[in-house]
Amino acid sequence: MKKTYNLRAIAAKTLAQVLERGQSLNTLLPGLQSTISDKDRALLQELCFGILRTLPQLESIIRQLMAKPLTGKQRPVHYLLMVGIYQLSATRIPPHAALAETVEGCIVLKQQQLKGLVNGVLRQFQRQQQTLEAQAAAQDHYQLHPSWLAKRILTAYPDEGSAILAANNERPPMWLRVNKLHNSRDAYLALLAEAGIPGIAHQTLSAAIRLDTPCNVGRLPGFREGWVTVQDASAQGCADLLAAADHEQILDLCAAPGGKTTHILEMAPAARVTAVDIDSQRLERIKENLARLRLEAAVIVGDGRRPEDWSPVAEYDRILLDAPCSATGVIRRHPDIKWLRRDADIAELAGLQKEIINAVWPYLKPGGTLLYATCSILPEENSEQIRAFLASHPDALLTQTGDIEHPGRQCLPSAEGGDGFFYAKLIKQTSVAQAQE
């Protein structure tokens, strides 16, 4: 069947939407992927992720190959050039095919007159490839981040900062969460081995498996039947720490797309879980995930800052607050975050997190547990947030996760481990006297 689309042009347009319109790959890719072949789906993802990981390197190469950057209506061709150079430099696509397809992309971008220019620039790149690549590779991990973000990371982590910046540019491992309502982890590891997909069990998380090599979910035994879910190891730590039990009232706040809602229910299938999120579209994803795993929860659209508007329950036994955050712990999975976030977002997000945790705290039963979590690595959203909360809430006791000096548990992204993540487990004291003990 003849293809009716040009994948390179799709990639160029997608990059333009991320970098010039501030849209995320998470929002853009699912819609696009339903219109292209399976093979091209993987390639589109590889092109967009790879280019956003190494954007400053590609920009510097283009600067050397062209006297003036393309602007205005011709700007999409700038991204097409990146797609061309990335293919020649970082993929195994035969150069003649990469070149021909990229040049053809000009037609779809309605810049037919630039076909010669694209062809010329890419051929010049081929001629100088070694030198240009060596120069680009001299940029260190710091330079592959916006400087405000690199500075924040290095200030917060004087010792580990460089390793974090390097980890952000790596390809992340693929972690699975075994649904133990169907199989033990050992049994599932055996099923994986039979299917030729080797993996290794996490040392402390009881349902987590890291695959030796990431694979398409369609290949995972029983994926459709809900035997397994793709979820990073650090994210799996949430339900373990929350430790929900059957018949308890649980609030999963900021729940979409439901990765943790379903984990809570796999561990305590008779818990009464209310999953709330402000984004009605993302809530649909919770419903799909619940259906695939054959689990049940009440799913409600609501603003975490105003629980009085939506809460069916006056007091919960446990609350998971997986707060909206900068997502600076998951850059290796979402490299567009580097270019979408702005320095000023951090204070704004910290303000939102504070409003939500303050608003929901009264909805926790005395003796109940609130787990505050983010996929951020920035102290403003994490330890500093919890320090301020503890100072203003004498009835809150920090447990299992750090101490008053260093509140919370901060995970950092690592090659064989989980993503950057933060948890703080708080217990509501039953009386002020207990709080003062």
Ligand X SMILES: C[S@@+](CC[C@H](N)C(=O)[O-])C[C@H]1O[C@@H](n2cnc3c(N)ncnc32)[C@H](O)[C@@H]1O
- Would you tell me which residues interact with ligand X (CB under 6 A)? 254-260, 277-279, 282, 303-305, 322, 324, 356, 375
Cβ neighbours, 10 Å, residue 59: 14
In the complex with ligand X, the residue whose CB is nearer, 181 or 278, is: 278
180 is in an annotated binding site: no
Question: Do the annotations mark residue 354 as ligand-binding?
Answer: no
CA-closest candidate to residue 165, choices 133, 134, 196, 139: 139
Q: Is 207 annotated as a binding residue?
A: no
End-to-end CA distance of the chain: 74
H or E, element range at 324: none
- Phi, psi (deg, nearest 5) at residue 250: -120, 135
Closest separation in Å from C-beta 366 to ligand X: 24
Instruction: Count Cα neighbours of 247 within 13 Å in the Cβ-side half-sphere.
Output: 0
Is 375 an active-site residue?
yes
- Tell me how far apart the alpha carbons of residues 238 and 110 are, in angstroms, rounded to a whole number: 48
- Contact yes or no for 245/269 (Cβ under 8 A): no
Least distance in angstroms from the C-beta of 219 to ligand X: 23
In which residue are the tokens 């290095």 written?
A: 154
Taking the complex as a whole, how short is the minimal distance between the CB of residue 25 and ligand X, in angstroms?
15
Closest C-alpha to 269, from 291, 292, 297, 288: 297
Question: Which residues contact residue 116 at a Cβ distance below 8 angstroms, ignoring those fewer than 6 apart?
Answer: none
The CB-of-258 to ligand X minimum distance in angstroms stands at 5
d(C-alpha 50, C-alpha 92), whole Å: 13
The Cα 51–Cα 86 span in angstroms is 7
277 is in an annotated binding site: yes
Cα–Cα distance measured from residue 434 to residue 400, given in angstroms and rounded to the nearest whole number? 18
Instruction: Please tell me whether 373 is known to bind a ligand.
Output: no
Ramachandran assignment for 94, one of left (phi > 0), alpha (psi -120 to 50 degrees), beta (any other): beta
Residue whose CB is less far from ligand X, 209 or 286: 286
CB of 300 to ligand X, least distance (A): 10
CB of 270 to ligand X, least distance (A): 21
Is 351 annotated to bind ligand? no
Q: Give 165 or 255: the residue with its C-beta nearer to ligand X.
A: 255
Among 48, 106, 238, 375, the active-site one is 375
Among 17, 19, 3, 109, which Cα is nearest to 58's?
19
Structure tokens at 87: 């293919």
Is there a binding annotation on residue 232?
no
Q: Which residues are annotated as a binding site?
A: 254-260, 277, 303, 322
User: Binding site for S-adenosyl-L-methionine: residue ranges?
Assistant: 254-260, 277, 303, 322
- Catalytic positions are 375
